[in-house]
Structure 1
């Protein structure tokens, strides 16, 4: 297959991103991830398939559309659901409910939902289509020392597509970043080396058994790949999600700091990312399953963890 005809599946493209690498960036988010982090703020990124999403706040009510989505579904997977008040005229709107056990994500209902309350999450792009879209923001990259970040999910799961996109961007002189969990065979990571300027690299827990128990994969590959990237002279921006009852204890933070020390000058910065529950509503768009929530760590506690890591001579920020 011609590399230009390779396709990748994305769930979002965000312009004017200032937290996914240096400068102003555009971030392309690819679908699919082998990890199952319970706190994931983009649960729609986990599945590789396209998914029917339901955003209740967009719904105009079944009266306004004459139950078009209910009538359109060939599986009978959409039924009358809860109600909510319309703040514009203080009237009650009849909403719908997606029966997830019947829905096969065919997307037929989305064609009848002109309010786009029902929509398919996931869109396929060719290399040309994605590169053309990313180059539309070239002016912002050039005036801010920014660039493009390829993220996920886990972008390495679509590595051939990602490599071709990154290669094309480098040919255009664009700074590139790859946001990754690091969970892949080294041979996969190695394919990206010539085309990535900085890796945004997640470290979730130093204990492999605890890592596997919570996010469903061990961490040996993750740590080994970080070491190999450093040995190859690549730059790393380490990202540590601080999750209560998982990795927020001082012992794990110190072990993580010791590991980052071993990476030497490869580490440009360590970002401590305090848990937040902003992703809870996203879970409700794609699933009826209950979502576990935790209490976000306090600013004082985050500053304490920052101080611990800084005591190891590491550059640390809180985001």
Structure 2
């Protein structure tokens, strides 16, 4: 099978309504060059498979213990005792030494409760299309379609191109959800197969961008301008992170930049910060750095909306 038609995903979500118009199927790919402090999908960052440990789902070593038996490196050993809400009693769970783990995934294959699971899955374009085709009626009735997201999908741009090409050959509406941090040459390869770019803008100051997402913003802004010049339709998405990118100065600079892109920008969507993905960090043995940050209030979100609208842009919240 052609390797360009096989990609690595973290999930396929059906009946989504937040990532483009209408009812959609979202295909979420692994791999991202950015490390946004507020990322709600840490499992999407690494391109390679990672093993997640969801302690609360463990049924206990006395009931199972299969993972200890198959681990070839000694990364899994007997661990502490915890009270299980499912078992209604105290159980002994594993201790997971990630420094010894070779990510073979054998433990995830024998774990009956999926307390240990792989964050990635290899899948072909044909397999994805089988899922997508099941919901064609919903797309037609709602003017929906398919959204390819991540991670940053352009990390796997060759696979993305094949997937988008197949979707367009079947006359499906296609959105590409991107951070803008990829080579322009790669965007040119997929441009003709995308109906709407969902384009993220995190911060207009390049030094702050480097601090908050791990990379400067010049490439991101340059690609946005190139997409606009190429006639692409764009929905700009701006996460509102209190104390990090929600100052009036940055919101005005963002509105001004979006306005400069002209008719390419069909809509600006501002997204309030949330902590829904924070628990995933612990499962992956990673640290979440915004534990104490609270979501922005309704009044502040409306203020951001008013500022951006003052530049002649259509804006929605959420």
Distance 2:244 2:150 in 1: 22
Q: Contact conserved, 1:283 with 1:291, CA < 8 A, in 2?
A: no
Query: Structure 1 stretch 94-103 or stretch 139-148: which is displaced more?
Result: 94-103
CA distance in 2, matches of 1:248, 1:303: 12
Distance 1:87 1:116 in 2: 16
CA–CA separation in structure 1 for the residues paired with 2:84 and 2:255: 50
- Contact kept? 1:238, 1:267, Cα under 8 Å: yes
The question of whether the paired residues in 2 share the 8 Å contact of 1:15 and 1:27 is answered with yes
Cα shift at 1:210: 1.1
Q: Go from structure 1 to structure 2 and tell me whether the alpha carbon gap of 1:221 and 1:86 turns closer, same or farther (over 3 Å shift).
A: same
Give the match for residue 218 of structure 2. Answer: 220
For structure 2, the residue ranges without an aligned partner over 5 or more in a row are: none
Q: Is the 8 A contact 2:278 2:288 kept in 1?
A: no
Name the residue aligned to 1:134.
Answer: 132
1:316 is matched with 315
Report whether the alignment pairs 1:284 with 2:282. yes
Segment drifting more, 210-219 vs 9-18: 210-219
Please say if 1:174 is aligned against 2:172.
yes
8 Å contact from structure 1 (residues 269, 314) kept in 2: yes
Which residue does the alignment assign to 1:271? 269
Seen in structure 2, the aligned counterparts of structure 1 residues 97 and 257 have a Cα distance that, compared at 3 Å, is: same
1:104 alignment partner, SS class: coil
Alignment pair present for 1:239 and 2:237:
yes
- Tell me the CA shift for residue 243 of structure 1: 1.2
Contact kept, 8 Å, 1:127 with 1:164, in 2: the verdict is yes
* Partner in structure 1 of residue 15 of structure 2: 16
For 2:130 and 2:182, the matched residues in 1 are separated by 28
**SS in structure 1 at match of 2:62:** helix
CA positional deviation for 1:152: 0.7
**Structure 2 residue corresponding to 1:205, chosen from 196, 200, 203:** 203
Q: Distance in 2 between matches of 1:201 and 1:84?
A: 44
Three-state SS of the structure 2 residue aligned to 1:187 is helix
How far residue 195 of structure 1 moved from its aligned partner, in angstroms, is: 0.3
Per-residue displacement from partner, 1:175-219 (whole Å, max 9, x unpaired)? 000000011111111111110000000000001111012211111
Task: Specify whether residues 58 and 89 from structure 1 end up closer, same or farther in structure 2 by C-alpha distance, changes over 3 A only.
Answer: closer
- Residue 54 of structure 1 is matched in structure 2 by 53
Give 1:256 shift.
0.2
What SS class does the counterpart of residue 140 from structure 1 fall into?
helix
| Distance across 2 between alignment mates of 1:147 and 1:81 | 46
Q: Which residue number in structure 1 is paired with residue 25 of structure 2?
A: 26
Instruction: Tell me, in whole angstroms, the C-alpha distance in 1 between the residues paired with 2:150 and 2:239.
Output: 15
- Displacement of 1:101 in angstroms is 1.3
TM-score by length of 2: 0.95
Q: Which residue among 87, 111, 135 is the counterpart of 2:109?
A: 111
Counterpart contact for 2:5–2:163, Cα < 8 Å: no
Q: Which residue of 2 aligns with 1:183?
A: 181
User: Which ranges in structure 1 are unaligned for 5 or more consecutive residues?
Assistant: none
Please give the per-residue CA displacement for 1:36-87, whole angstroms capped at 9, x wherever unaligned.
Answer: 111100000000000101122321122211x211222111111233443333
SS in 2 for 1:189: helix
The separation in 2 between residues aligned to 1:132 and 1:225, in whole angstroms, is: 32
Q: In structure 2, do the counterparts of structure 1 residues 290 and 77 end up closer, same or farther at CA, with 3 Å as the change threshold?
A: farther
1:166 deviates by 0.6
Number of aligned positions between the proteins: 317
Aligned 1:37-76 pairs, distance under 5 A: 37-65=36-64, 67-76=65-74
Is residue 16–residue 25 contact of structure 1 (8 Å, CA) maintained in 2? yes
Q: Distance in 2 between matches of 1:120 and 1:175?
A: 31
Flag the 1:52–1:146 CA change in 2: closer, same or farther, 3 A.
same
